[in-house]
Amino acid sequence: MSSPQLLRKRASAPTSAGTLPANTTDTADTIDAVVPAPTRGAADSACAPARGTASDDLDRAAHAAVAAWTGGLSPASMVLAWLDWAMHLTVAPGKQFDLATEALVAPAMQADGMPPAARHTPPDPRFAAAEWEAWPFRLYRDAFLQAQQWWAHASTGIPGVEAHHEELVRFWARQWLDACTPGNFFATNPLAQKALIDSGGGIAIKGAQHWLEDFADMTSRLRGGRPVHPPAWRPGHEVACTRGRVIWRNELCELLQYEPATSQVTREPVLIVPSWIMKYYILDLQPNDSLVKYLVDEGHTVFMVSWRNPGAADRDLALDDYLKRGLLAALFEVHARCGEAVHATGYCLGGTLLAIAAAALARDGKADLLRTVTLLAAQTDFSEPGELGLFIDASELAALDALMWQQGYLDGSQMAATFQLLNARDLIWSRMMSEHMLGRRSKANDLMAWNADTTRMPYRMHSEYLTKLFLNNDLAEGRYCVEGQPVALPDIDTPAFVVGTERDHVSPWPSVYRLHLFTHNALTFVLTSGGHNAGIVSEPGHPGRHYRCATREPDAPYRSRHEFFEQTPTVDGSWWPCWSAWLRAHSTGQVSARRPDPALERAPGRYVLES
């Protein structure tokens, strides 16, 4: 019996949801047969797991006590950045003179009726309304814009400041300025004052109601409960409603297979592995913007991994568990049921895990399990992590690690707060002004409801992910280990389809593009409009969408990302048809439609419903 068949035999019976026991052997032993463990003495020292001591626990407890007050942020990291900036500024008299001159000249120009430095920068949409031209509001606006530009100059270009510290100073200066914009205060906001008068005080009542509702929801989430005002988009009803069944389950994930919509399907099935930082139905929202339904309608057999939402008892789940008991277990199950190589697809962190799996399978002579590899907004080289890198240094990770160690997990609301900080102007302050000051509720949609349906990250897994991948960049540098031996991205020979998004703050597209440097196989790269989520959920017919697509043939010379962007023509519309055509081109024909076994319950399953 082949290894995939053996896995199917052992794993087909459903198990109850719960904590993964440390001595579970059935699925793990089967996977070990496919990804054999090498002699431990041959492993690189970097692959050896770290061991904690009583002193380590004491240090973590102290860090956790501080991190609980700072939301997981390291005050030491912030202080070091400001000290670095201030100390180098004190020995930069030329920079001091320029800043002093700017601080003196700009108010004089403003007093003469001349616009401030904003004249030389793109217009700020926060002050686009005509009401900001009236006195005294234009004074508030101009003073703010002047301060904003002064700090932009003051926080950059100081000789000797370490690059990461300069980015932190610039970031936190921007946060404080955005918090102090005159639009955030009723006394200095002409729009709020006009709206209050025009509504006869009605917006004040509505704004107060919205604030109370948001406060109740936030309090409920902090206590580990559900929102007091749940969204109208429910998995299995309004979203995640593509017909299918849960065909396999273990304690970590479920495997969904969707009902075919055509009599013939492509021979090789599609397996989608989303990130466990999100609920899987980001790719199966409403029927009109569901990537799953689109693929099914295009004639593909589609499988989806649905991750279980872990709790404190799952603190010791490792990244290796997500690889072996999650991705690889699902891959072998799909291969056993269909008898074909698989079009494996990973989104975000699921794509990073897929790259690790593909490298491990190639290393161990099992690459024939994969027909193609598709990575959606997924990083494999973390040397350019974008603004998320602001929260990734040794001090920040020590604070976050201690907080997770104490809780047993990283809560979804804590993670969401970090992402909100990266775009605080739109996600915090503009929303606060619109909903609490002007009484206008943002119209809910399926993507917003999904974004509020947060998940948790097990302590050990997330600590390994942040340290090994983000901080140390072990995967790109050949130090990341599977079964005690390092894996290498250049081992992957499978054709790849890689998607980056233009405004991605989680996986910046230049970072995603760097996979070109680590593979010699055929690689098709797509750069699509939108951000990390909206760029992937880009259904045909969505207005304003476009993408660029180019294929690097095997062993072709490297082309920089700047050359790619300048030389690749823009195509209007969704990138989904391009991907579907690519999948068909890399398939070996069609077979009769495959229907899921009615062994377990209907999709979306039970794990996606757990809070």
The one-character DSSP state at 324 is: I
Three-state SS at 17: coil
| Distance in angstroms between the alpha carbons of the first and the last residue of the chain | 39
The one-character DSSP state at 121 is: S
Residue at 359: amino acid letter:
A
Q: Of 47, 348, 549, 578, which one is the catalytic site residue?
A: 348
- Residue 247's Cα: distance from chain center in Å? 27
- Cα–Cα distance, 299 to 294 (Å, whole number): 9
* Whether 106 contacts 117, CB under 8 Å: yes
Angle at 78 between CA 73 and CA 82, to 5 degrees: 170
* Whether 85 contacts 167, CB under 8 Å: no
CA dihedral 20, 24, 29, 32 (to 10 degrees): 40
CB within 8 Å of 554: residues ≥ 6 apart: 520, 521, 522
* Whether 103 contacts 136, CB under 8 Å: no
Output the DSSP codes for 545-584: -EEEEEEEPTTPPP--HHHHHHHSPEEES-SHHHHHHHHH
Maximum alpha-carbon separation in the chain: 86
Output the DSSP codes for 223-269: TT---SS--S--BTTTBS-S-EEEEEE-SSEEEEEEPPSSSEEESS-
- Per-residue tokens: 77: 């990291």
- Cα–Cα distance, 108 to 105 (Å, whole number): 5
* Whether 372 contacts 506, CB under 8 Å: no
* Whether 479 contacts 44, CB under 8 Å: yes
Q: Is 47 a catalytic residue?
A: no
Report the catalytic residues: 348
